[in-house]
Amino acid sequence: MSHRGPDDSGLFLESGIALAQARLAIIDTTNGGHQPMASENDLIHIVYNGEIYNYGIERTLLESKGYNFKTKSDTEVVLKLYEEHGEGFLKRLRGIFALAIYDKRGGPGKEKLLLARDQFGIKPLLYSEINGTFIFASELKAILASGLVPRQVDSESLQQLLSLGSVYQPRTLVQGVYALPPAHYMVVDKSGSNLRRYWSYGLDRVAGLRQLPYLDQVEQFRLALTRSVKLQMVADVPVGAFLSGGVDSSLIVALMARETGGHVKTYSVGFEEGANATDESLEAEAMARHLETDHTRVVVTARDIEAHLEKFVFGLDQPSVDGLNSYFVSYAASQGVTVSLSGTGGDELFLGYPWFANIQNSFDGVYPKRGISFAHRLTTHLTSIIRGPNQHSVDTTGSVAFCEAFGRQYHCFGPRAANDILSASRRSTLSVHAFADDLLPCDELAAAELMDRASVFCLNGYTRNQLLRDIDACSMAHSLEVRVPFLDVELMDFALSLPVTSKLQMNIRTLAADASYAESGVKRIVCDASKKYLPQDFFTARAKKGFALPHADWMKGPLADVMAETLSWETVANAGLFDPSSVARIRKDFMDGYRPWSHPWLLMITELWRRQVLLN
């Protein structure tokens, strides 16, 4: 855990309880921020990872009620908020956090432990209950190091990993270890544990926004994002930003520059000449020049991949088909800053991914307008186009149909192929999944308009379980905290109070690969708010294509021997996770050009994880 907190560490220990913390000092870097931190009467103790962006406002309110503070840290504010508001304090927090509070005010035998996690799941919190002992930590490695949890892979989670490219929370890949769900808290006492929710998505929480003229909506969005960026720049250490060259990160950097009045440190990743990848780092450099940032372009070479592969897998903490880009840009940023802002979340809130347009096209003419029941027409229409052998019947609410349609937009192997790849012993204990078996919990706004529903679905699925999890793991591997201004509760409420046409204007060019931002109509309000700060030709040039590393080149080049060894028949058979013949076929198909790099890559990373994390 030292990589997550290299600046300080602490331990609270008494009969029946132990709390430990490794600290990355960001707000109040003095010893005043030391954790675990205790209340003045020594009856409440807290360990906490993350940042509360509105801690200054809450501190002022607490001082007006007579509370005195000994430090300048946000940890002390969180502790006193709990003292003042009890479990309701969580509704006041605006930030990224995973925390544990041990409260013994009830007296002997009535002690309780409260665990909580931020609204979007940006900071991780894992736990396990085994043989009467409750364990929690920020990473799997820490839980495994306790020696109390068997080092066994959960077969259903492994099937899910292969199908979707990541393990979907609350599952983890280790049997008996779970992730506390975002926007939830858990109270543990001698009677057991109780999970409760403190926040949820909602429509039209910004009253009247939907009815405003579009230009007024643009201005309101600009102000809301500015507030979020300003709050998330609060730190007593250097703050920078990832700059990909797309509209989301460029707008954030522009707002940061206006706030500081100086040169923001920015970072992007590129590749050595000839790499077969989508490298937009030169476009990022051009944007950096326009915004006058102190920019660093990191060129990743084949030698870098060889040197960092094991460190990457160890830092990842749990296998994923993604994460390498986050690892390298975080490595670069950590050389100059302790905190970096990211544009992550803009595509989800404001409908930038092509998945949204595809879903809109799939449901066009079937999914009715706002406020009209859609279940019967939806399920009737989709039965003929998405039902397959051994899959669910379409349910009367449309949730299964929606999950199946969305699952086809983004996955790795998919459910049927994932089942076939598992070893015979593991496969015999499982049934063949459909996408809906794993994705139904993501469909939280099933009664909303199609695109609002899809936005939340994406946040609960891909974003939470792959993107945010990988970003946190890979950045904290380098002792770097990444903050995401788009994923703010105020902005979330804002996005779900807008008409869809303010976010996405569908047209015949929306899905064209060469369409510019102006032509595609995606992230309409983000683009229009950005025109005040970014070059005008930025919006009429080609749109950002996304970030793609040259994995295939590396796996057929410098990583060929690693792939051959980790996916060899003997290795696969001894590990007992996958079917050796299936793995051999996947590797051959990839080498012959018939499979995407993601298939053998995920299998290779999983085997390396088994060695680096599970068995180490």
Which tokens belong to 142?
A: 């820490």
Strand partners, 187: 114, 194
Q: Cis peptide leading into 36, omega within 30 of 0?
A: yes
Instruction: Match 């909506």 to its residue by tokens.
Output: 217
Q: What angle, 0 to 180 degrees and rounded to 10, lies between the N-to-C axes of helices 399-407 and 354-363? A: 130
DSSP state of 29: -
Closest Cα partner for 430 from 171, 154, 150, 128? 154
SS3 helix, strand, coil % of the chain, rounded to 5? 45, 15, 40
Q: Please tell me the distance from the alpha carbon of residue 162 to that of residue 122, in angstroms, as a whole number.
A: 23
Q: Is 394 annotated as a binding residue?
A: no
Q: Please tell me the distance from the alpha carbon of residue 354 to that of residue 346, in angstroms, as a whole number.
A: 13
Q: Cis peptide leading into 499, omega within 30 of 0?
A: no
| Separation in Å, CA 32 to CA 23, 29, 75, 97 | 12, 8, 10, 19
Residues 6+ apart with CB under 8 A from 471: 323, 326, 330, 342, 344, 482
Instruction: Match 């590749």 to its residue by tokens.
Output: 271
Q: Please tell me the distance from the alpha carbon of residue 604 to that of residue 601, in angstroms, as a whole number.
A: 5
Q: Is 269 annotated as a binding residue?
A: yes
Using CA of residue 236, residue 238, residue 244, residue 246, what is the dihedral sign? positive
| Separation in Å, CA 467 to CA 278, 347, 464 | 18, 12, 6
Q: Is 340 annotated as a binding residue?
A: no
Cα 232 to chain centroid, rounded: 17
Which tokens belong to 538?
A: 């930025």
Identify the three-state secondary structure at position 203.
Answer: coil
Residue 391 sits at φ, ψ, to 5 deg, of -100, 170
Q: Is 74 annotated as a binding residue?
A: yes
| Separation in Å, CA 495 to CA 44, 129, 310, 511 | 38, 38, 40, 22
Q: Please tell me the distance from the alpha carbon of residue 300 to that of residue 304, in angstroms, as a whole number.
A: 6
Q: Please tell me the distance from the alpha carbon of residue 493 to that of residue 490, in angstroms, as a whole number.
A: 5
Q: Please tell me the distance from the alpha carbon of residue 354 to that of residue 115, in angstroms, as a whole number.
A: 37
Q: What is the 3-state secondary structure (H, E, C) of 503-539?
A: CCCCCCCCCCCCCEHHHHCCCHHHHHHHCCCCCCHHH
Instruction: Match 């102006």 to its residue by tokens.
Output: 518
Residue 184 sits at φ, ψ, to 5 deg, of -125, 160
Residues 6+ apart with CB under 8 A from 246: 280, 343, 544
Q: Please tell me the distance from the alpha carbon of residue 42 to that of residue 299, in angstroms, as a whole number.
A: 51
Residue 405 sits at φ, ψ, to 5 deg, of -65, -40
Which positions make up the binding site? Answer: 74, 269, 342-343
Which positions make up the binding site for ATP? Answer: 269, 342-343
Which positions make up the binding site for L-glutamine? Answer: 74
